[in-house]
A and B are shown apart, each in its own frame.
Chain A
Amino acid sequence: MTRFSARAGAAGIAFGAAPVIFLCIFLVYPMSRILALGAGPLLEGGAAGLREVAADTGLPRLLAASAGQAVLSTVLTLVFGLPIAWIFSRFRFPGKSVLKTLLLIPFVLPTVVVGSAFVELIGTGGILEKIIVLLSGNPDANGNLTRSLGAVLLAHAFYNTAIVVRIVGSAWSGLDPRLEQAARVLGAGRARAFSRVTLPLLLPSIAASCILVFAFCFSSFGIVLMLGGPRMGTLETEIYKQSVYMFNLPAAAFLSLVQLLLTVLVMFGYSRIQSRTSVVQNLKPVSATQRTPSTPGEWTLVILCGLAPTAGFMLPLAALVFGSFQSRSALTFAWWQALFAGAGHSLYWISPLRAAVNSLFFAVEASAISLLLGVPAAYLIAKGQASRQAIGGIGAAALDLIFLVPLGTSAVTLGFGFIVSMSGPPLDLQGSAALIPVAHSLVALPLVIRGLLPALRSINPRMRDAAAVLGAAPAAIRLHVDLPVLRRSFLAAAAFAFTVSLGEFGATAILTRPELVTLPVLIFDSLSRPGLTNQGQALALGSILMAACGAGLALIEQVRPRGAEVF
């Protein structure tokens, strides 16, 4: 090896060490503290102790509830998502990109906003109830569907359909339709051609999206808390209750440990499946796989499977905005005016403007942190994956997995981990304003890396060689070849981190202090207090937050390089 490349290697290691160190301090260390706290009782009591702790915390019931609702949610999400993925990947029609963006909005919305939107749509006094009252003529008719498993499942499907549409859709739109046509010519009917050719080719992406949806639903917090009713307890809400209300840290730690182990397991499966889908067959450009619907039948299918569900998905969002202008069925601007009047009575109440400023500050910090760490991490992973040596491949796979873990780790666990590990030496950051953006960037980091990886892989290494031969030094190659190709991905990743941070609720709820309250926390706080004004203000705040997230997302869709998906 020459001196030249040895120096480059040392710089590369320093460059790549930062994200790993960050992850060690803010993910591995807190998680290991949780591990220590949770493992304590287990080690003392042996197998009997384990059974006792499990019984005390109601672990079997919690596991069954968490997994059960997650499985049902995943199935429902697939039912919604697959037809939409099909329509989006096989047909070209006006307004498609707008629909795709609209569908992604729920994914970045704070759970509290989604929760309040669903309450406004199907809760007590919601739009559904008003319609029932109107139709039946009975003013006491009950149209409340919340506080039920169904509401949770519906909200989860609402959240995660975009994942199925994006992951399966991108695989589907790259699939050569002539493969299915070849099967048809060989004598397979439409159904058999689908089940024998298309489905097997889509299976890895369907599996990947299922695992991701399952992981999100399994660790879902805000939705279960707001829509599931008091009797529905999952692992995630129990961790919150044990740590925040009962201050039973060992029990919370034990549950977090279970949660963490399951997360690592599930994410390992996801990472494996994803690395397999990346060596997929000869992909076709979208122009070769999509066509404009030609018959009335096809247009009907497009409307039924694509437009109608998308419109349905917009209902809760519309209900939210509608509700913010409603007071006892009359039009009012009182809630919006109240936002700026600064009237509030709770401990957490700060002016919405102040909360918005907090949210913006945290979002800027979080996107800066996650970009600064995500870029080197993505470089390292891409480099390892491209390396011909086994050690590079294994290292890349390990890094990939480590950086995926925060994606599946519940935000509550993350926040709880910070509380148990950062409140004393060696790290005393309790109450520090730094913890919140750090937690946000941990949540955003996996998505940032996911977004950058395809762009990095898309740079043909020969392109760098070509620049080198034309006289470009390594720094000039980064500037003239890498940066122009990656610029849009950088922007998209930053905007994504920004949006995620803007909506983050679970970790912030645990870590926040009165003066650090963010918009989502303020919304939750307003919702949990009685009174029409509080509810109305929450809806108005939710509308603002939704608009902000929508704007961020629209920006992402604008700058995102074509063909690169966010997961």
Chain B
Amino acid sequence: MPFLEWHAVSRTYGNSQAVRDFTLEIFEGEVLALLGPSGSGKSTLLRLTAGLEEPSAGTILMEGRDLAGIPPHTRKFGLMFQEYCLFPHLDVGQNVEFGLRMIHVGNAARRERVRELLALVRLPGFAGRNVISLSGGEQQRVALARSLAPSPRLLMLDEPLGALDFSLRGSLLDDLSRILNSVGVTTLYVTHDQAEAMTIASRVALMKDGCIVQVGTPADLIAHPVNAFAASFLGLGALVPGTWRRGTAGCQFVTELGSLDASGASTLGAPDRRADGGLLLVRPEAVCRVPSGLFLEVSARIVSRLTRPAGVIFRFALQGRNGNEYPLELPISAGMPDAADEWRSGDRVRLWLDASRCQVLPD
């Protein structure tokens, strides 16, 4: 039995629907990421789950029991807010032990637990510190310790790295991953950053406009995006609109970059799912060094050439025949002609796309 189930959960505010018909389940010990752009209803779903708001429709079940009407303070869930919401009138230790006080844990046990958690988040000896004097990263770790202290049955993290400097995020994400693994708590992780979701979660639910677009493992999502939104939000490559045409020579997908023959490219999708339109997903790995098999020759403008420690990255604009441009980013190592060393920003170059590595996705 899943630990927690959402059944057709909706939440409306006036005329706007923040969450629509949301159905999902999370299993004991799992780390599930809710991924989506801002305004996709992720935070609302957390508030509904925590009991801070009631769903307009649908039910939330915990181990088969309906949670409706159960106030937040008796649910024994942990929620870490994006802005942390540490209590400014309490010091670090008093913040961490707040939840323990609420369930009347004794003095000695409380002190021991605070010490243990501050050690876990690598802030030993911080108990007497004033929370206002802490850096952003330290506040985040205190908030995490505070959420974990009462041993919640479900931990919800709302954009835990959202308020931090970009440079801090990498190391804190690893830290967070380590802590979640060592505690083994069932975790619902909300983020708008796909890299974050893919790093920390065993399963990702992609959301848009209050609905679930796709649920799967990170590898699933990358390999089989269900639609153009999923591919573009996950940053899988350039998306070029086109239409299907059935001719004497078989089925072709026609775009302004050129036409692709479906017979030689199974990845273009099963014939029965070929509707009238769709978008061609051009991934970086579709670009090939030498023309081979079924290929498409396209012209591209080099928008910029970025020199990074890991190598050179080109940002291309694929040139459509109607004048539209489609941005595509790829490292110099992958499938580039040898001449690429000489390429500079503003150059116009030719690239070959391997048709068998392209996908057609519904809009």
> A and B: partners?
yes
Taking a contact as CB atoms under 8 Å apart, the answer to whether B73 and A466 are in contact is no
B87 near A463 with CB under 8 A, answer: yes
Residue A469 lies at the interface, judged by CB distance under 8 Å to chain B: yes
Q: Separation in Å of the A253 CB from the closest CB of chain B?
A: 47
B13 touches A469 (CB 8 A): no
Is A52 part of the contact surface with B, judged by Cβ < 8 Å?
no
A471 & B83 in contact (Cβ 8 Å cutoff): no
Q: Could you tell me if B52 and A468 are in contact, using CB atoms closer than 8 angstroms? A: yes
Q: Which of B33-41, B97-105, B263-271, B338-346 contacts A (4 or more CB under 8 A)?
A: B97-105
Q: Are A4 and B71 in contact (CB under 8 A)?
A: yes
Chain B neighbourhood of A469, CB < 8 A: 50, 52, 72-73, 75, 77-79
In the complex, what's the smallest C-beta–C-beta distance from A29 to chain B, in angstroms? 39
Shortest B358–chain A CB gap in Å is 46
B interface bracket (residues with beta carbon within 8 Å of A): 20 to 34
Given contacts A2-B69, A470-B102, contact A465 B81 (CB under 8 A): yes
From B54, B88, B150, give the contact of A470 (CB < 8 A): B150
Assuming the contacts A460-B85, A462-B83, asked whether A480 and B71 have C-beta atoms less than 8 A apart, the reply is: no
Size bin of chain A's contact surface? 20 to 34
Inter-chain contact B81/A480, CB cutoff 8 Å: no
Complex contact B150–A466 (CB within 8 A): no
Judging by beta carbons under 8 Å apart, are A473 and B71 in contact? yes
Known: A4-B71, A469-B73. A463 touches B85 (CB 8 A): yes
Closest chain-B Cβ to A491's Cβ sits at a distance in Å of: 15
Closest chain A CB from B216 CB (angstroms): 29
Kindly supply a per-residue 1/0 record for chain A positions 470-497, scoring 1 wherever the CB is within 8 Å of any chain B CB and 0 otherwise: 1111001000110011000000000000
- B14 partner residues in chain A, CB cutoff 8 A: 388
Q: How many angstroms from the CA of A463 to the CA of B79 in the assembled complex?
A: 12
Which residues of B are found within 8 Å of A481, using beta-carbon distances? 87
Kindly list chain B residues whose C-beta atoms are within 8 Å of the C-beta of A484: 87, 89-90
The distance in angstroms between the C-alpha atoms of A82 and B131, with both chains bound, is 37
Query: CB-CB < 8 A to B88: which residues of A?
Result: 485
- Closest chain-B Cβ to A371's Cβ sits at a distance in Å of 21
Q: Which residue of B lies closest to A8 (CB)?
A: B71
Q: Tell me whether A3 is interfacial, beta carbon within 8 Å.
A: yes
A420: chain B residues within 8 A (beta carbon): none
A76→B150 CA distance, assembly (Å): 61
Q: Which of A1, A2, A469 has the most chain B CB within a 10 Å cutoff?
A: A469
Judge whether B146 is part of the interface by a CB distance below 8 angstroms.
yes
In the bound complex, residues from chain B placing their C-beta under 8 Å from that of A466 are 79, 81, 85, 87
Q: Which residues from A are CB-within-8-Å of B122?
A: none
Chain A CB within 8 A of B129 CB: no
With A469-B73, A471-B99, A472-B102 already in contact, the answer to whether A2 and B54 are too (CB < 8 A) is: yes
Binding site for A on B (CB under 8 A): 13-14, 47, 50-52, 54, 68-69, 71-79, 81, 83, 85, 87-90, 98-99, 101-103, 146-147, 150
A-B pairs, top 3 by smallest CB distance, nearest first, are A471-B102, A470-B99, A466-B85
- List 27 contacting pairs A-B, 8 Å CB cutoff, sorted by A: A1-B54, A2-B68, A2-B69, A4-B69, A4-B71, A388-B13, A388-B14, A460-B85, A462-B81, A462-B83, A462-B85, A465-B50, A466-B87, A467-B87, A468-B73, A469-B50, A469-B52, A469-B72, A469-B73, A469-B78, A470-B99, A470-B102, A470-B147, A471-B102, A473-B71, A476-B102, A484-B90
